Amino acid sequence: MTDQSQTEKPRSVVERFMGGHPVNVILRLALISLVVGFLMSVFGFSPQGIIRGAVELFREVLRDGFGVFRDIWAYIVTGAVLVVPVWVVIRAIKAR
């Protein structure tokens, strides 16, 4: 019985990084890109539309996310309208 690590040729840095022989990896990526590109065109997606949508999503998250911080005081007051009276009633009941 021979050790398998002795019979295999050591993989180069490029092969280890890419996950296989570079030509095979490039061919697999090209085939997958072809299928995905075809499906995207069938469903009406374009690279520009996807990038534009991602940028708009990022802007909305920033705008709405920081808007939450601006409105945090309003959220505290709104919650306090319900929480504080309930807390007072509970404290009054426990005090007896």
Give the per-residue SS3 of 30-67. HHHHHHHHHHHHHCCCCHHHHHHHHHHHHHHHHHHHHH
pTM: 0.48
**pLDDT string in tens for the chain (96-residue length):** 555 556 677 888 888 888 888 899 899 999 999 999 899 899 998 889 988 988 988 888 788 777 666 677 777 888 888 898 888 898 888 887
State the Cα–Cα distance between residues 18 and 96, nearest whole angstrom: 73
Q: How crowded is residue 22: how many other Cβ atoms within 10 Å of its Cβ?
A: 13
